[in-house]
Amino acid sequence: MMHLEYKKADYNGCHIDIQPDHKSEIPKLRQMVVNNLNIKNPAAVFAQKMKNGEFEDVPEEKVDAEAQVVNILSDIWDEQYSMNVLMLLSRAMQMIVDLKLGG
């Protein structure tokens, strides 16, 4: 399984990083994308990082800011642990339309 992670590199800009669980999966990345790529909910990834202590040296306001972004992104997953990339795209597009139409 792979996960999608939103983070700020050195907290000076942002990017979305898609990482395989193990480096041996990298050659299969294209095949995984072509087939049925599932992406972990960023809230689950963030929670695991918090549990592992990966934010211990990060200022609290930076962690809170990142948590806000993760919470916004995780709305697309609708509380599911992971979701197919095509479904995520479809849900994101619907959310954009709903925002633009005020619904």
Structure confidence at residue 103 (pLDDT): 61
- Decide if 38 contacts 83 (C-beta within 8 A): yes
- Decide if 9 contacts 54 (C-beta within 8 A): no
For residue 53, name the pLDDT band (cuts at 50, 70, 90).
very high
Strands of 38-40's sheet in order across: 14-20, 2-8, 38-40, 82-84
Instruction: Convert the pLDDT of each residue in 15-45 to its tens digit.
Output: 556 666 777 777 776 666 656 678 889 999 9
Q: How many domains does the chain have?
A: 1
83, β-bridge pairs? 39
Question: Which domain does 54 fall in, by range?
Answer: 2-101
| Prediction pTM value | 0.62
For the chain, give the percent of residues with pLDDT over 70.
70
> What gap in Å lies between CA 14 and CA 16, rounded to an integer?
7
Mean of pLDDT over the chain: 79
